[in-house]
Homo-oligomer: A and B are copies of this chain.
Amino acid sequence: MSIAERRATRAVRAGTVTIGGGKPVVVQGMAKAPAWDGPAVLAQVERMAARGCELCRLAVPDERSLEAFAWVAKRSPLPLVADIHFQHRLALGAIAAGAAKLRINPGNIGGPEALAEVAREAIAAAVPIRVGVNLGSLEADLASSLGHTAAAMAESALRQVRVLEQLGVEGIVVSAKASDVPRTLDAYREISGRTEWPLHLGVTEAGPGLAGAVKGTLGIGLLLAQGIGDTIRVSLTGEPECEIDVAYDILAGLGLRRRGPELIACPTCGRCSFDVAGAARTVAGYLAGMHDPLVVAVMGCAVNGPGEARRADVGLAGAAGGRAVLFSGGRIVRTVSSEEAVPELIKEIERLRQGGISEVSDR
């Protein structure tokens, strides 16, 4: 099969969520509002939760942000990860405030005693810790001995894991992020072969717009396809909830997880006999927020349309004279005019939903 079986990892619990241990890949988000602005951060967390985010990371760079973190933690619909650098007191504070997980760098948290104190409190509160390396902040000795390579990234991440293991930490998640895809892949593969802790996937600094989505999809998608990765975060410059959508698009594309319906729309070409792009947008809007695992096809012409429309749960395929053929459950329902096409498609979907959709169609 083209998608490899997932590699076995240990299960790590973060609040209500389990990462690794054969559980479905966990979708993470990260709030981007100013860290001290509790209400703004909470609003983002709630928007991400509504899109299917399961675990949300908040940066906690100072005391004021820690107060906001505590305020959000009391109200959050999701377990929260506190992302902390430089000041171990903030990590202790975040644990006390109800963090479900910490993300720290053992090398910059304030020395061995500070780290030991954080580890002790995390163990006591059953809070796991994510460690990991960003190529941009690789330790100087590794950068000079191994260069800015995947091997150096893996060694850096595994050093951090060993430090936490020696302190008795019982839940560890590991990440290794470079801004370029090939090194990210190599680093995760190396780490995956050398530890049983679950892995957090991401391609950091991915860039704006579609370019960011493409880069993140390549890095995360190529690893998931090899069975590597227990939780993912897509990084985009923009609204945090878009990151959740792209995460699910990746998981659905690989057949690993589905969030709601799938819309198959042809890209349109000179053969189109009705306005497929417009119809696809309308149908996408109608399907947004729906949780049934329906497959819906909107196809413009008689070349590929009928086949796709027939194999979907519900579908439209363009026909001669600007008309369209409506399919449901693999059978032709009727031919409709181009104005009727979308309303009739929606009517058919509603009919199916009322009948109850028990499983994903065999596509």
Whether, in the assembled complex, A136 has its beta carbon less than 8 Å from a beta carbon of chain B, the answer is yes
> What residues on B are CB-neighbors of A58 within 8 Å?
270
The closest CB in chain B to the CB of A283 belongs to B208
Whether, in the assembled complex, A218 has its beta carbon less than 8 Å from a beta carbon of chain B, the answer is yes
By the criterion CB–CB under 8 Å, are B270 and A59 in contact? yes
Interface bracket on A: 35 or more
> What residues on B are CB-neighbors of A204 within 8 Å?
266-267, 304
Q: Which of B36, B235, B253 contacts A181, CB < 8 Å?
A: B253
Q: Which residues of chain A (234-263) have a CB below 8 Å from chain B?
A: 235-238, 242-243, 245-246, 249-250, 253-255, 262-263
Q: Which residues of chain A (31-81) have a CB below 8 Å from chain B?
A: 31-36, 41, 58-61, 65
By the criterion CB–CB under 8 Å, are B182 and A137 in contact? no
By the criterion CB–CB under 8 Å, are A208 and B32 in contact? no
By the criterion CB–CB under 8 Å, are A250 and B35 in contact? no
By the criterion CB–CB under 8 Å, are A271 and B35 in contact? yes
Whether, in the assembled complex, A124 has its beta carbon less than 8 Å from a beta carbon of chain B, the answer is no
Q: How many copies does the complex hold?
A: 2
Q: Mark A290-309, 1 if CB is under 8 A from B, else 0.
A: 00000001010001111110
> What residues on B are CB-neighbors of A135 within 8 Å?
307-308, 311
> What residues on B are CB-neighbors of A214 within 8 Å?
213, 217, 246, 249-250, 253
Whether, in the assembled complex, A91 has its beta carbon less than 8 Å from a beta carbon of chain B, the answer is no
From A18-26, A274-282, A345-353, give the one contacting chain B.
A274-282
Whether, in the assembled complex, A337 has its beta carbon less than 8 Å from a beta carbon of chain B, the answer is no
By the criterion CB–CB under 8 Å, are A210 and B242 in contact? yes
Whether, in the assembled complex, A163 has its beta carbon less than 8 Å from a beta carbon of chain B, the answer is no
Q: Which of B222, B299, B303 contacts A222, CB < 8 Å?
A: B222
Whether, in the assembled complex, A83 has its beta carbon less than 8 Å from a beta carbon of chain B, the answer is yes
By the criterion CB–CB under 8 Å, are A179 and B264 in contact? yes
By the criterion CB–CB under 8 Å, are B208 and A254 in contact? no
Q: Which of B30, B32, B269, B308 contacts A136, CB < 8 Å?
A: B308
By the criterion CB–CB under 8 Å, are B218 and A250 in contact? yes
Q: Which residues of chain A (214-237) have a CB below 8 Å from chain B?
A: 214-215, 217-219, 221-222, 225, 235-237
14 contacts across the A-B interface (CB closer than 8 A): A2-B150, A2-B222, A36-B270, A138-B307, A179-B297, A185-B225, A205-B299, A207-B262, A207-B284, A209-B284, A213-B213, A213-B217, A217-B218, A236-B267
